[in-house]
């Protein structure tokens, strides 16, 4: 598609996501492990079970976005 | 203007080729064949006019139907829906369908209609996405949504299981059924690339829907879960496609049938004696 439109802008945002996500690999792994653990243990996955880990990931992600915007 | 080629097209091309192979496996020439969803099936390009003499190709979208597809086989294009086939009973020697049936709302109905439009001793060769397709994406989203939001809604279309499929084919009146399963894994950098790849194909093939209902936090969470649970050491993640290849025949008295119970003249218990007789 030629020119900038909704489609190419949202694809650009999605590409940016991957770039930012890559900078938070450690936080992502910690959150991922927290959630994944419930699939092998008796502990049921409930809302906010891994809220602390997610906040760390989100903070890292938001900071990466801020750094990129500069 | 060239469309961007999606990696999932690899699956579409491969499956089309595999269906053509199965047509060649049957030592017959088919005077008249029907390709449901033939605008995107990529089957006919592998077939010659020795195997299929005339082809009718259906599509639900006029735009897809109008695309020029050079082929040595005499082809007629018809705008039609799998659930409402505008053809007479007992008219086709062969019906083909590659990766379209999982979109139909009434699969039992569509299968029944395929059986009806086939001539006796005609054959249906089709491929559908199976229950394990995109399980990594489905599970990652489910877990992330549960942890972030307390519940989840389906974002990946439900696919048929192999046992259900066998049952559906039988109920539709097909005989001599075979269903075999193939698995393809495509590797992507991450969940976002998986979703981008599927999104562009939503209307034509795959399973991804209702992306607009996904919250940004949930996508971030799902990306982390996907990577942790399914990611490989090189950082990439797999997306699985399970394909069911099905072959079903319209009954005809020439087809082999199981013998009546009690009609056996030899017992399995005599197997060792039969072997000895051959050696003497």
- Nearest C-alpha neighbor of B15 from the set B103, B118, B100: B100
Q: d(Cα B204, Cα B201) in Å, to the nearest integer?
A: 5
A4-61: per-residue pLDDT in tens?
A: 555 667 778 778 999 999 999 999 999 999 999 999 988 899 999 999 999 999 999 9
Element (H, E) at B72: none
Question: Which chain A residues are Cβ-neighbours of B193 within 8 angstroms?
Answer: 18
| Residue contact B217–A32, C-beta within 8 A | no
Q: d(Cα A61, Cα A55) in Å, to the nearest integer?
A: 10
Q: Does A58 touch chain B (CB under 8 A)?
A: yes
> Residue ranges per domain, chain B?
5-279
Q: d(Cα A70, Cα A20) in Å, to the nearest integer?
A: 14
Distance of CA B208 to the CA centre of its chain: 16
Q: Does B194 touch chain A (CB under 8 A)?
A: no
> Residue ranges per domain, chain A?
3-69
pLDDT averaged per 10 residues, chain B (length 280): 68 94 96 94 93 95 83 92 92 95 87 97 95 93 95 82 92 94 94 84 49 81 97 93 96 83 80 62
Among all residues of chain B, which has the CA nearest to that of A38? B143
Range list of β-strands (E), B189-236:
none
CATH number of B5-279: 3.40.50.150
C-alpha separations of B142 from A56, B151, B184, B209 in Å: 21, 8, 22, 14
pTM score of the predicted model: 0.83
Please give the angle made by the CA atoms of B172, B176 and B181, to the nearest 5 degrees.
85
């Amino acid at each position: 598609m030629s020119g900038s439109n909704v489609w190419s802008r949202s694809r650009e945002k999605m590409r940016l996501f991957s770039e930012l996500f890559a900078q938070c690999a450690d936080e992502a792994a910690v959150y991922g492990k927290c959630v994944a653990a419930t699939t092998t243990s008796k502990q049921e996955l409930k809302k906010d079970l891994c809220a602390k880990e997610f906040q760390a990931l989100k903070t890292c992600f938001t900071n990466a976005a801020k750094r990129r915007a500069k | 203007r060239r469309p961007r080629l999606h990696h999932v097209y690899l699956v579409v091309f491969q499956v089309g080729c595999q269906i053509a192979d199965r047509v060649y496996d049957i030592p017959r020439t088919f005077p008249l064949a029907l390709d449901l969803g033939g605008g995107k099936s990529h089957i006919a390009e592998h077939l010659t006019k020795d195997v299929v003499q005339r082809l009718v190709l259906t599509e639900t979208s006029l735009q897809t139907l109008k695309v020029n597809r050079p082929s040595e086989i005499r082809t007629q294009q018809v705008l039609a829906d799998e659930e409402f086939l505008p053809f007479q009973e007992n008219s086709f020697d062969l019906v083909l369908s590659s990766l379209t049936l999982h979109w139909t709302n009434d699969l039992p109905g569509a299968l029944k209609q395929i059986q009806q439009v086939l001539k006796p001793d005609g054959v249906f060769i089709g491929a559908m996405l199976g229950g394990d397709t995109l399980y990594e994406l489905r599970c990652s989203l489910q877990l992330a949504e549960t942890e972030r939001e307390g519940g989840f809604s389906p974002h990946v279309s439900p696919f048929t299981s192999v046992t259900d499929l066998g049952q559906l084919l039988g109920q539709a009146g097909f005989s001599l059924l075979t269903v075999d399963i193939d698995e393809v894994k495509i590797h992507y950098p991450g969940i976002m690339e998986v979703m981008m790849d599927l999104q562009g194909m939503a209307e034509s093939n795959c399973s991804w829907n209702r992306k607009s209902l996904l919250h940004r936090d949930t996508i971030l969470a799902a990306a982390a879960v996907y990577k942790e649970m399914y990611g490989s050491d090189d950082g990439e993640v797999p997306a699985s496609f399970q394909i069911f290849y099905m072959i079903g025949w319209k009954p005809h008295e020439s087809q082999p049938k199981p013998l009546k119970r009690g009609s056996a003249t030899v017992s399995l218990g005599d197997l060792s004696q039969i072997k000895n007789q051959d050696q003497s």
